[in-house]
Structures are given as structure tokens and as C-alpha cells.
Amino acid sequence: MKRPLLLLILLLLLAACRFGPTDDGPQTTAVPTAAPTTDDANPTAANPTADSRPTTAANPTAVPPTTAARPQTTPADAPLIPNPYPLAPIFDIAWDDRAIYARGLVAPAAEDVPGAPVYHIDITIADDLRTVTGRQTVFYTNMEDAPLSEIVFHLHPNLLDSAIEVSDLTVDGAPAPTTISGAKRSILTVALPAPLPPGATTTLDMHFVTEVATDIGRNYGVLAIYDGILALAHFYPMLSVYDATGWNTAEADVQGDLTYSDAGYYLVRVAAPAGVTVVASGVAVEEEALSQEEGEQRTTVYAVGPARDFYLAAGDFAVVSGTAGATTINSYAPAELRDGAALALDVAAAAIGINEARLSPFPYTELDIVTTPTAALGIEYPGLIVGTLRMYDITATNQAGVGYDDILESTTAHEVMHQWFYNLIGNDQLDEPWLDESMAGYQTYRYYADRYGQAAGDAYFGNFAGRWESVDRAEIPIGLPVRAYQGPEYGAIVYGRGPFFLRALEEQMGRETFDAFLRDYAAAFRWGISTTADFQTLAEARCGCDLEPLFAAWVTE
């Protein structure tokens, strides 16, 4: 084909499809009132079951023809160089355009993360909700001090009794060598055609097919279709973190969280059966109904960022809505569990207000709460929290005689605290889980103290004692990796003993100084990644004291 004709075709394609945000307005209703509770928000023990299932090779999703891809491997301050291998982009929007995310942020200018990875994803969810077919483009900037010769992704579905296959992978439009390694083929390594210099950006494009497990299996069923509800966590190829160890490819344990990730930006087009309600991270910026030969579909584009991940659930949900400051809260559950959804909404609104007053601003204009059949009581995602279905019948009690209204309150408050400790302030959840789990537990204690008085806080704190006593108050360090804990030790130590350490730290520093330290900590590591050493150093700087004996006794030895 001659060059003039090629240019004419590209211009015609550009005119054929334009992407842009549309208006949508959240519904608001009155916020109900909840009673105090004394229960915990910790997950149950993991229950691995079925093996991973094979899948067929990935097929490209249909994408609208648009202009050629823009990103390139040039230093950040250099002129843009046209990509010599044109690909039709998923979205007709520049990868570094932050305006699309502004609607989901209370203060967009204050939340920009320069050099953060950008994901453009286009997926189609099958009518039976069991198969996700997608295409993904990742724009990766080398923020390290040395050139990078490869880029590494986690294929989490292969660990989660599900399966993912990746195909048609290119780097800046050209095919690139890849290797699959790790447990159950869970690590994808992409060799770059040339080392990527510091400050330079490269574009990785790929197709994938994810087959979703149909049982609640590993890691509490975070990726499963069960009881008609799809829980779709970590379903796409997810960038590894490059840290002091290089590309961090540590395998997740069967309990605890799976991800350790940098904050990034996600623009995701989701085509799903029109008969289900999709609840996703971020805000909807474009939506349309499409008639397909196999049935009706609804396509929605979601934008979220900065964020550590992108998550969605789909099912037959009703919703109640309210507000907390500048944030709209939407609480989703099956219609017969609407009272539970209303209670979760009330708790989340109170928890956001408490944390904003004591810690730092909540970043998002929307927080969603959704129920799934997860084996955990609750799970956290950016701008979205999950609660298990069984606790939404708030008129019932569990086997120990504890009311599910109490359990739902403590769980919801705990997961809201994770919006700060995991998402806003990142950490290695596999190697240093105490930094988010123990902190979320301690902050839940402070939620009860702030909302209902110190006596209620102290009563709630008794739950941590019960957990720790399950291992006879063994003085096991709280700062170990998840995989280092045996049997019930992970829950007993990280969730039970961990808050005892933080309360001891508060008492040594004094509550006023401790709270000032946490505000400093939240500001210093907002959208970054913290370590135990960072936490200790900043605490010592704020109190002007030596905290090494306390950390040695509780955290590191």
C-alpha cells in the first residue's frame, strides 16, 4: 500500500470513533443509623479447593478503529517520536492525559502521581459470567535509577483456581519474547528490544482470556463466580513492583492478600450482560447499551487512579446511596438484604469522616460497597470494599451468638480503614502485612473510640485479645511475611497481636504525638510504598525518642 493511501485510511479511522466522558449523577438518600459493636473484621482461614483449569488461546477483542498509538520509549523531556509499529489504541485518548480521572477525585491536582503506570483495558464478560476476554495496553515509565531490560507481570488467576492465557504481546508495536515461570505459570516476563533508560516510557499491548473459577477456593474466593455473583479480582496481567530486590515475584500464600503494587491509573471498558449490575472501582465516564446477536450487553467505561488495582463484581443487586463529605457512597446487595446494605453505608460514612478528621483526606468522589460469597468477612480494593453475603442478614447471629449487625459494622469499618492503609499508603502485603492489616485493625479500634467513646473502643479491643490468645499469646513477631506464619498464626499475630503493638506505641509516644505521627506518615507516603523501617524512622523523628527496643520486642525479633 502506498503511503498517501495509508494516511488517508488512518484519517478516516480517526473520524470514525471518538472517546469522551459523559455526565452521570449519583443518587443520594438519607443515611441510616447503626449501633455500636464489639466484633472484628478479620478474614476466615483460607480453604483451597479445586485445581486451576486450562483454557483456550486468547482471542483479540473487538476494538473501535482509531488513530495510531502515541506512547513511545523516549525520555520524559524529549520530543515525541512516532511509533513505527502503529496499533489501533483501545481509547482515543493520550495515555498521559489525567483529565479523564478528575471526575473520580475530590482534589485532582493534589493526587497526581508522575510516572505511575497506566492501564488501558477492554474486556467482555460472557453471558454466564465465567469467561473474560480482553485486551490490555500498559504504558510503563522507568522510574528507577538504572535501565531495565525486561518488564514483569503477575498472572494471578493461575494461582487462584482460575486460569489466564496471554497472546499477541507486543512492545511498542513489535512482537517481543516472553517467558512464563513461577508456581502454576503465574509470572510473565517480557524481554525489551533494548534497555529502557530511566525516565523513558514503553508501551506493552496484549490480549488475554481469563476463565473464572466456579468454587470458593484459594484466598477466600476473590476470583470466582458463585451463587450468581461474579467476583473479579486480579483478572488481568498485573505489573510487578520493581524494588530493592529487583522485580518482586514473590508468590502469594494461600491466606492473606495476593498483591503488592504501585499506584497507577486505570481506564477500563467493560462489556457485560445487560441483566446484571456491575460494581467497579472508580467512576463511570461513558455508558451505552449494545444489542448483540447473543443478547443484550451494556458497555461502561470506568476511570480510577491513582489506585493499586482495578476490581469489579457483577450480580443482581439493589443499591442504597448516601454521602460522606465530598464522597458519594453506594452500597449494593441483593434486594432482600437491603437493611444490611443500609447499615454498611452508615458505617462507611462515619468511618470516612473519622479518618478524614484524624488522618488525611479521602481521595475519591465515590466509594462502593458490594456483597459477594467470599470466605473472608471483608476484602479491600481501591474505592471499593467487599463484604460477605452471610453477614448481611443483620437480624441473625453467628454460631457464637454474635449478631451479624455487629459483625457487619466491624467488618465495614475495617475495610474502610484499608482505603488508607493499603491503597493511599502502599506496602508489601506479602512480606510486611502488618503495615496494612495491623494498622487497619488498630484504626478500627479508634473508629469505635471516636464514634462511641473510649469505653466502646476498649470493649472492641478485646477482640484482638481473643485472637492472640488462640496461639496462647505467643510472642511471634508481627513483622514476618505471610508465608512464615503456620496455621492460625497469621490471623492471631498480624490481626491480633499487631494492634497490641500499635497501642503500646501510642502509649509510649502519647496519643497526641502518635496521631500527629500518623498524619505525617499519611502525607509522606501518600500513593507511595512504606516499609517497617520507614514507619519506625518517622515515628522516632516525631517523638524524638528511641523506639528500637519496642520494635524489636513486637515487630522484628
Q: List pLDDT tens digits, range 451-498.
A: 999 999 999 999 999 999 999 999 999 999 999 999 999 999 999 999
Q: What is the pLDDT confidence band of residue 47, given thresholds at 50, 70 and 90?
A: very low
| Of 346, 429, 448, 343, residue with least CA distance to 380 | 429
Residue 25, pLDDT score: 32
Is the per-residue pLDDT at 391 higher than 50? yes
Q: What is the pLDDT confidence band of residue 292, given thresholds at 50, 70 and 90?
A: low
Is the per-residue pLDDT at 527 higher than 60? yes
**What is the rounded average pLDDT for all residues in the chain?**
86
Distance CA 274, CA 260 (A): 33
Distance CA 396, CA 244 (A): 49
Distance CA 247, CA 533 (A): 20
Distance CA 121, CA 89 (A): 10
Question: Could you tell me what percent of the chain has a pLDDT over 70?
Answer: 83
Cell numbers given for 556 = 522484628
The residue with greater pLDDT, 24 or 516, is 516
Q: What is the pTM of this model?
A: 0.84
Is the per-residue pLDDT at 31 higher than 80? no
| Of 165, 152, 154, 164, residue with least CA distance to 191 | 152
The residue with greater pLDDT, 32 or 258, is 258
| Of 246, 140, 154, residue with least CA distance to 200 | 140
Cell numbers given for 324 = 460522606
Residue 14, pLDDT score: 34
Residue 287, pLDDT score: 81
Whether 255 and 484 have beta carbons less than 8 Å apart is answered as no
> End-to-end CA distance of the chain, in Å?
69
Is the per-residue pLDDT at 295 higher than 80? no
The alpha carbons of the chain give a radius of gyration, in whole angstroms, of 23
Q: How far is CA 486 from the centre of its chain?
A: 26
Whether 433 and 482 have beta carbons less than 8 Å apart is answered as yes
Cell numbers given for 117 = 503506570
Is the per-residue pLDDT at 394 higher than 90? yes
Q: What is the pLDDT confidence band of residue 219, given thresholds at 50, 70 and 90?
A: confident
Cell numbers given for 301 = 467505561
Residue 218, pLDDT score: 83
The residue with greater pLDDT, 74 or 551, is 551
Whether 346 and 52 have beta carbons less than 8 Å apart is answered as no
Is the per-residue pLDDT at 153 higher than 90? yes
Give the largest Cα separation in the chain, rounded: 79
Per-residue pLDDT tens for 496-516? Answer: 999 999 999 999 999 999 999
Give me the half-sphere count of Cα atoms (radius 13 Å) on the Cβ side of residue 191.
7
Q: Which of 59-68, 115-124, 162-171, 545-554 has the lowest mean pLDDT?
A: 59-68
Contacts of 16 (CB under 8 A, 6+ apart): 64, 65, 66
Q: What is the pLDDT confidence band of residue 422, given thresholds at 50, 70 and 90?
A: very high
Residue 291, pLDDT score: 55
Task: Return the bridge partners of 26, or none.
Answer: none
Is the per-residue pLDDT at 72 higher than 90? no
Cell numbers given for 492 = 492471631
Q: What is the pLDDT confidence band of residue 63, given thresholds at 50, 70 and 90?
A: very low
Distance CA 25, CA 262 (A): 30
Structural domains of the chain sorted by starting position, each given as residue range(s) with its CATH number in brackets: 29-418 (2.60.40.1730), 434-556 (1.10.390.10)
Is the per-residue pLDDT at 71 higher than 80? no
- Kindly list the distances between the CA atom of residue 151 and the CA atoms of 90, 119, 176, 237, 380, in Å, as whole numbers in the listed order: 21, 14, 11, 12, 27
Distance CA 151, CA 198 (A): 13
Q: Tell me the average pLDDT across 398-414.
A: 95
Q: Which of 86-100, 326-340, 422-436 has the lowest mean pLDDT?
A: 86-100
| HEC sequence for 42-70 | CCCCCCCCCCCCCCCCCCCCCCCCCCCCC
